A and B are shown apart, each in its own frame.
Chain A
Amino acid sequence: MPASTAVLKAELRLFLREPFTLFWIIAFPTILLTILGLIPSFRDPDPGLGGDRVIDLYVPVTVLLAMIMAGIQALPPVLSGYRERGILRRMSTTPVRPGSLLAAQIVLHFAAALGSALLVIAVGRLAFDVALPGDLPGYLLALLLGALSALALGAVVSAVTPTTKATTVVGSIVFFPMMFVAGVWAPVQSMPGLLRHIVEYFPFGAASQALNQAAGGNWPDWTYLGVTAAWAAVLVAAAVRWFRWE
């Protein structure tokens, strides 16, 4: 078995041994969607939203929430812990690069977030009759860029904090505003004009708009895709630049 496969396999086992992480990434976004969907008025068409129902807007929001949970809440303490506890250091004395350990964790968090997104979309469709994404390629692209931004932001949080404790604290500080701009408290589309314009400059605000457009069957505005992609690029570069192996 090639070394990188062995690493991925071992890290998958470890990932499956973290019930809280699995709950927050995979179950929580769907639970939130279900709770919101049980509020009757959220299932009625709202003329203020152009005839959309609130629950329609919340499917892309909870999809993004899964990305944020995986990237900003779950991933950073894992990366910092591996650094702080000398696991990366021990690995760097073997023929396998310690980067493969981080790569495995990033891949697994991404996969879990993607699984969570599918669950959200399925439950939205089956339980609350939310239409499946109308423009699937556009939806997937926006999803991918959003996930990349979230994972890269998580990696940056781990890179700029010296200890796992600090990582957890900074992670939470970043986590709440990111949930806000993704529209967890109020969907971006329902925000007042000025606030919406500001939020659209944040990775998850822009991704939220892009996802919502794609859900409605349109190719997302390049502005939204561009903003999310630019954030992803900057964050990846920052994480690579600042991450310390010990």
Chain B
Amino acid sequence: MRAGTARGDPRSMSIIEVNGLRKAYGGRPAVDGIGFAVDEGEIFGILGPNGAGKTTTVECVEGLRAPDAGVVRVAGLDPRADRGELTAILGVQLQESELQEKLTVREALELYSAFYPRPADWRELAERLGITGKLTTRFGRLSGGQKQRLFIALALIGRPRVVVLDELTTGLDPRARRDTWKLIEEVRDSGVTVLLVTHFMEEAQQLCDRIAVFKQGRVAALDSPAGLIRRSAGGTVLAFTPSRPLDDGDLTGLPEATTFERRDGRLTIHGTDATVNAVISLLARHRVTAHQLRITDSTLDDAFLELTAEQEN
């Protein structure tokens, strides 16, 4: 991979800037005032439920869609007006696109190499993505995972400064998924900025330097994965089956506890370390034994569900 260059706008560290982005389809807003900035050389994740406006937003970044309102800049370029310059520095993996059915992997790699002034070595890319054994296979005969890996190779073939990956590892098995994550980290380490749209919390947590959580066309939260988890109220989850029932009054009085719920005699409490200590004292005071006690830190999954659920009310 190419080392990072600093050809971007010297006044700013942000290589992607999105401000007040709006886009409606048939009067229904898909993107409703999205704003974020991506620093050069980071992996920036966009996370959100279906229909949150993730794909529409990255399509505006790619220049495939014209925003109704707002400003989008990639390396200082307007994705619509400066299309020619943008396509030379942008690598794209689209969520739903295919290649010609009878085009072989090798032909696809050679063809897309010819589109760029200084392409990467496609053999090396094929090697890194594990599709060397499929070079003579036609696109239509590839498995979902192999197609996906070919698309990642095509996104990187022009030595882009920015790569946009929409649903990066959908269709990959766990092994290939982990290999792909490693590859994306290497790409980032070589100075390329990565904008990643994903469904997988684990992927976002593992890979992203920062994450924007989208909900109903807006940014519900923007932070590092650790920051998002910290922010979510139920940071620590405590679950146990008490030897005899506890009073609601005792439970609602617990410090820093956000929620508790009972199911089949099992009690689950969301809170912090302070909550955990208070629960232990409470149990001791009432001489209650906690069977199958489990204390876990909440994951990005929990933070995500909380952030996106809040917005529904």
Q: Which residues of A contact B (CB under 8 A)?
A: 1-3, 5-7, 10, 13-14, 17-18, 82, 85-87, 89-90, 92-96
Return chain B residues, CB-CB under 8 Å to A7: 111, 114
B186: min CB distance to chain A, Å: 22
Cβ-defined contact, A95 with B84, below 8 A: yes
How far apart are the CA atoms of A89 and B90 in the complex, in Å? 14
Name B's interface SS: loop
Q: Which of A1, A7, A94 has the most CB of B within 10 A?
A: A94
Segment from B93-101, B176-184, B191-199, B209-217 that makes contact with A: B93-101
Top 10 closest pairs, chain A to chain B, by CB: A86-B97, A6-B114, A93-B92, A90-B97, A85-B98, A94-B115, A95-B87, A17-B102, A96-B115, A10-B111
Inter-chain contact count A-B, CB under 8 Å? 64
Besides A10-B110, A90-B154, A94-B87, 7 other CB < 8 A contacts?
A: A2-B114, A6-B115, A10-B111, A86-B98, A90-B97, A90-B99, A95-B117
Q: Which residues of B contact A (CB under 8 A)?
A: 62-64, 84, 87-88, 90, 92, 94, 96-100, 102-103, 107, 110-112, 114-117, 154, 158
Return chain A residues, CB-CB under 8 Å to B158: 94-95
How far apart are the CA atoms of A87 and B115 in the complex, in Å? 15
How far apart are the CA atoms of A94 and B94 in the complex, in Å? 12
Which residue in A1, A14, A87, A96 is a CB contact (below 8 Å) of B97? A87
28 example contacts (A-B, Cβ-Cβ < 8 A) are as follows: A3-B114, A6-B110, A6-B111, A6-B114, A6-B115, A10-B111, A13-B103, A13-B107, A14-B100, A14-B102, A14-B103, A18-B102, A85-B97, A85-B98, A86-B98, A89-B94, A89-B97, A90-B92, A90-B99, A90-B154, A92-B64, A93-B87, A94-B116, A95-B87, A95-B115, A95-B116, A95-B117, A96-B115
How far apart are the CA atoms of A87 and B99 in the complex, in Å? 5
> Across the two chains, which residue of chain A brings its CB closest to B154?
A90
> Across the two chains, which residue of chain B brings its CB closest to A86?
B97
Which residue in B64, B84, B96 is a CB contact (below 8 Å) of A93? B64
How far apart are the CA atoms of A17 and B101 in the complex, in Å? 10
User: Given A1-B114, A93-B64, A95-B87, A10 and B96 touching (CB < 8 A)?
Assistant: no
Cβ-defined contact, B103 with A86, below 8 A: no
B33: min CB distance to chain A, Å: 25
Return chain A residues, CB-CB under 8 Å to B102: 14, 17-18
B225: min CB distance to chain A, Å: 28
B216: min CB distance to chain A, Å: 25
Return chain A residues, CB-CB under 8 Å to B100: 10, 14, 82, 87
B138: min CB distance to chain A, Å: 8
> Across the two chains, which residue of chain B brings its CB closest to A7?
B111
User: Given A1-B114, A3-B115, A93-B92, A87 and B87 touching (CB < 8 A)?
Assistant: no
B161: min CB distance to chain A, Å: 14
B121: min CB distance to chain A, Å: 16
> Across the two chains, which residue of chain B brings its CB closest to A4?
B114
A244: min CB distance to chain B, Å: 13
How far apart are the CA atoms of A93 and B87 in the complex, in Å? 6
Cβ-defined contact, A95 with B99, below 8 A: no
> Across the two chains, which residue of chain B brings its CB closest to A2?
B114
Return chain A residues, CB-CB under 8 Å to B115: 3, 6, 94-96
Return chain B residues, CB-CB under 8 Å to A92: 64
Cβ-defined contact, A93 with B107, below 8 A: no
Q: Which of B62, B84, B102 has the most CB of A within 10 A?
A: B102
How far apart are the CA atoms of A240 and B255 in the complex, in Å? 69
Return chain A residues, CB-CB under 8 Å to B62: 93
How far apart are the CA atoms of A7 and B102 in the complex, in Å? 14
A88: min CB distance to chain B, Å: 9
Q: Which of A85, A86, A93 has the most CB of B within 10 A?
A: A93
Cβ-defined contact, B103 with A94, below 8 A: no
B137: min CB distance to chain A, Å: 14
How far apart are the CA atoms of A94 and B112 in the complex, in Å? 8
Return chain B residues, CB-CB under 8 Å to A85: 97-98
> Across the two chains, which residue of chain B brings its CB closest to A17?
B102
> Across the two chains, which residue of chain A brings its CB closest to B90?
A93
Cβ-defined contact, B110 with A95, below 8 A: no
Which residue in A2, A5, A87, A93 is a CB contact (below 8 Å) of B98? A87
Cβ-defined contact, B97 with A10, below 8 A: no
Return chain B residues, CB-CB under 8 Å to A10: 100, 103, 107, 110-111
A1: min CB distance to chain B, Å: 6
Which residue in B84, B96, B107, B154 is a CB contact (below 8 Å) of A86? B96
